[in-house]
Amino acid sequence: MLAVALEEAHLGFDEGGIPIGAALFRRSGELISRGRNRRVQQSDPSVHGETDAFRRAGRQRSYRDLVMVTTLAPCWYCSGLVRQFRIGTLVVGESRTFAGGLDWLRENGVEVIDLDSQECRALLETFIARHPEVWNEDIGEEQGIGTREQGTGNREQGTGNRE
């Protein structure tokens, strides 16, 4: 499942965008949709990896038995989407670079599985090293302000916007 989200993240990276990918699956493993952060490519701050995959899934009768897979812990916007539609399981590639709303999702009954993927982390850290200003914009930080020199630290819950 993570391989699909990683493929999307790599596509985004190759397009010059923020390398965060996502996919939506049935519990059986059937792929429903996939997406990637396209904020840079489409100049649209609402096109996060999770929202892109969610929109491409179309209407579903229920979301409770679906699994959202994303290469990075979701921001508050995307965490709200998971909670609003009661997506039952969230698989996260990594949360060291950005912690997002994982604790809040757990507290609200979402099964969160953090894979702590070195590949996910390395891809995003490469992007951040090359484009710190885009990353800081993405997580809602002013230029040059962040946790560590370029905003690459594990964000505290409740700060920054991530995508």
Question: Which three-class secondary structure state does DSSP give residue 69?
Answer: strand
Task: Please count the residues of the chain.
Answer: 163
Residue type, 132: P
Residues marked as catalytic: 50
Concatenated DSSP letters of 73-132: ---HHHHHHHHHTT--EEEES--SS--TTHHHHHHTT-EEEE---HHHHHHHHHHHHH-H
